[in-house]
Amino acid sequence: MLDSDHLLDQAERLLAPVGGSEPSRLTDLCRAVSATYYAVFHAGLIAAADLFAETTERGTLVYGLAYRSIEHAKMKALCQEVLKSAPSARYHRYVPAGGWDRSIADYARIFITLNERRMLADYDPAYVVSESEVEVYVRLARSAIAHLDSADEVSKRMFLTLLLFPPR
């Protein structure tokens, strides 16, 4: 299982210039952008699998099924749903009373931002990113994970449940 903190440490190491004084290589910066996204994505997977299978079952087949059941596009779609001012009919009944907790909304917003940046970094040959931008993405990723960890339990439980069991 990937560790979100280790992915963010990796992103920071990729920021270090090769050979001391040379600027960071674009390939390293793009890989760092990707690592920030994956840190946030895997934090969500771990939280959802822990909810379903509990931390004591990490490494079991049941835990692995829960962990691997969440796809990137489905997580992005749920994050987009969380940020809507008016939920769609499909999700309306699952929105917690009073709306989504601010921490879940912040996690969702950052997830979408980093997902979009990761797609550019991994697939757009014209994409250019600076060291300072990557530093911002690392901070955003750490913030997203903290938001998920500190979210109101009702909102967090519903968000993670919808990741595992999307409504039809």
Per-residue model confidence as pLDDT tens digits over 63-119: 888 989 999 999 999 999 999 999 999 999 999 999 999 999 999 999 999 999 999
Q: What is the mean pLDDT of residues 110-135?
A: 98
Segments forming the whole domain that contains residue 30:
4-164
What is the value of pTM for the model shown? 0.94
Give backbone dihedrals phi and psi of 89, rounded to 5 degrees, phi first: -60, -35
Cα dist from 74 to 31, 77, 108, whole Å: 23, 5, 12
Residue-level pLDDT at 18:
73
Domains in the chain, number: 1
pLDDT tens sequence across 18-50: 776 778 899 999 999 999 999 999 999 999 999
Q: Cα 67–72–76 angle (5° rounding)?
A: 120
Give the CA-trace dihedral at 45, 48, 54, 57, to 10 degrees.
-30
Token pair for residue 38?
């994956």
